[in-house]
Amino acid sequence: MNYDYDFLIVGGGLVGGSLALALRDTPLRIGVVEALSEAERRASPASGRTLALSRGTAQILEGLGVWQEVAPKAMAIRHIHVSDRGHFGKTRLHASDQGVDALGYVAVARVLEDALERALEGLATARFRPARVIGLKGGRDGICATLRRNGEDFHLTARLVVAADGGNSTVRNLLDIEQDVRDYGQTAIVTEVRTERETNFTAYERFTESGPLAFLPLERKKCAVVWTLKHEAADELLAQSEAEFTANLQAAFGYWLGRIKPDSSRQGFPLKLIRAERMAEERVVLIGNAMHQIHPVAGQGFNLGLRDAALLAERLFVQTAFGEDIGDRSFLARYAEARHSDLGRVVRFTDSLVHIFSSGFPPLALARNLALIALDRFPAAKRLLAHHAMGYGIRL
Ligand SMILES: Cc1cc2nc3c(=O)[nH]c(=O)nc-3n(C[C@H](O)[C@H](O)[C@H](O)COP(=O)(O)OP(=O)(O)OC[C@H]3O[C@@H](n4cnc5c(N)ncnc54)[C@H](O)[C@@H]3O)c2cc1C
């Protein structure tokens, strides 16, 4: 069978774009289908979200040649300060204690998207954009995708389709892959504030009765705020005037950074844990948010998705070098198996954080405080926490 492409990446977002870039030095013929035009992507409010990036992510991005462009616009996190509002427990982590210059980084998604876009522009990779995959027809030998562009449909064939089309994945829906959905009943409010005091490369995580509140340093005196609350409380805060909202945010966060002033609009993101029941099918594999959408409390969604892409690129590279079929079912099953434990660990870690740190239940609040005090006193426990922050995400 003659294929138009060796493989098609559906979704040219952060994860799909990174995968295309990771495979630039292979002889594979790659097509990337992206629903949004470049102008739409740049104008999208979602591009304004702030991402906490682990050191591992920075290293992968460096290998892709994009970190060099992102680093000057990213803020290093040298300290993490964790506290519990209205309770006594708190702990601090310092990069210097771990012998590193940063525990992780903070960057606006748009900065990363722009750097990826520039790197992709120079490649031979075929890009269909704006175009949307609306149909898939699989067979033993290949897969045929139907694309819709400017109201017209056309077909492309490939050995493998990689679904990197986000939480509402069309590919996953077309294949009827069921999802395990856990609704946390929470919304993350995302905004930015100016601060009176210098952020001093410090990320703050504060556990409040209403939910965890993160202040991530964006500039010397500017922070990105992620406040996770029950839907009703979030709706109320989202509807408030700027002055009312700022007063409530200040009360919840305290004066660790002095007075705060709003510096952007507010956006609400409903939070769910969504995991597809299967990562791979005959000639199709799911990566990034198409496979898993996790609570941003631990700041791990993109970090995890990038590791999906990095391992898939490595495996595809080897499979191609041996002249084997990249759409082979057992090859894809082995890849899925290799990703299983990382995904399971991150989901369990995030899930327990949401549970423990969103609880106002007194025994849990007490346990959480004791844990924070213990962490602050025992270097070994702190090292473990720092290891999580550096490898698996920043927010605790
Ligand atoms: C409030 C919030 C805070 C977060 N904070 C962090 C953080 O601190 N650290 C972190 O690591 N992660 C964080 N995340 C998670 C992170 O944003 C996601 O995990 C990451 O963006 C997923 O990337 P993706 O490429 O898999 O999916 P997406 O970014 O959703 O990209 C999917 C792409 O596919 C395209 N597409 C969709 N359907 C089709 C179709 N049918 N055909 C063609 N193209 C299609 C879309 O246009 C889009 O460009 C946060 C998320 C939220 C909501």
Task: With cut-offs at 50, 70 and 90, classify the pLDDT of residue 389.
Answer: low
Percent of the chain with pLDDT over 90: 60
DSSP string, 306-336: HHHHHHHHHHHHHHHHTT--TT-HHHHHHHH
pTM of the model as a whole: 0.88
CA distances from 279 to 16, 166, 192, 360, 377 (A): 15, 14, 35, 36, 41
Distance 259 CA to ligand 1 centre (A): 32
Residue 363 has a pLDDT of 45
Per-residue pLDDT tens for 118-169? 999 988 889 999 999 999 998 778 999 999 999 999 999 999 999 999 999 9
Mean pLDDT score, 358-366: 49
Cβ of 300 less than 6 Å from ligand 1:
yes
Distance 13 CA to ligand 1 centre (A): 6
Mean pLDDT score, 185-209: 90
Distance 172 CA to ligand 1 centre (A): 15
The yes-or-no verdict on residue 6 having pLDDT over 50 is: yes
Mutational pocket test of ligand 1: of 49, 273, 347, the residue with most ligand atoms within 8 Å of the beta carbon: 49
The minimum-distance atom of ligand 1 relative to the CA of 395 is 8
DSSP string, 157-212: EEEEEEE---TT-HHHHHTT--EEEEEEEEEEEEEEEEESS--TTEEEEEEETTEE
Domains of the chain with CATH codes = 5-52+110-180+272-343 (3.50.50.60), 69-109+185-271+351-389 (3.30.9.10)
Mean pLDDT score, 384-391: 58
Mean pLDDT score, 368-389: 54
Residue 297 has a pLDDT of 63
Q: Give me the chain's average pLDDT, please.
A: 87
Residue 377 has a pLDDT of 52
Per-residue pLDDT tens for 16-29? 999 999 999 888 99
Per-residue pLDDT tens for 312-358? 999 999 999 999 999 999 999 999 999 998 888 888 877 776 666 55
Residue 141 has a pLDDT of 85
The minimum-distance atom of ligand 1 relative to the CA of 300 is 11
Cβ of 224 less than 6 Å from ligand 1:
no
The yes-or-no verdict on residue 105 having pLDDT over 60 is: yes
Mean pLDDT score, 205-209: 80
Q: Is residue 359 within 8 Å of 365, Cβ to Cβ? A: yes
Q: Is residue 19 within 8 Å of 161, Cβ to Cβ? A: no
The minimum-distance atom of ligand 1 relative to the CA of 147 is 42
DSSP E strand boundaries for the chain:
5-10, 30-33, 50-54, 75-77, 79-84, 90-94, 104-108, 126-128, 132-138, 143-149, 152-163, 179-195, 202-208, 211-219, 222-230, 260-262, 267-276, 280-281, 284-286, 292-293
Residue 244 has a pLDDT of 97
Length of the chain: 396
Per-residue pLDDT tens for 262-284? 998 898 888 888 899 999 998 99
130 three-state secondary structure: coil
Cβ of 31 less than 6 Å from ligand 1:
no
The yes-or-no verdict on residue 87 having pLDDT over 80 is: no
Structure tokens at 384: 């473990």
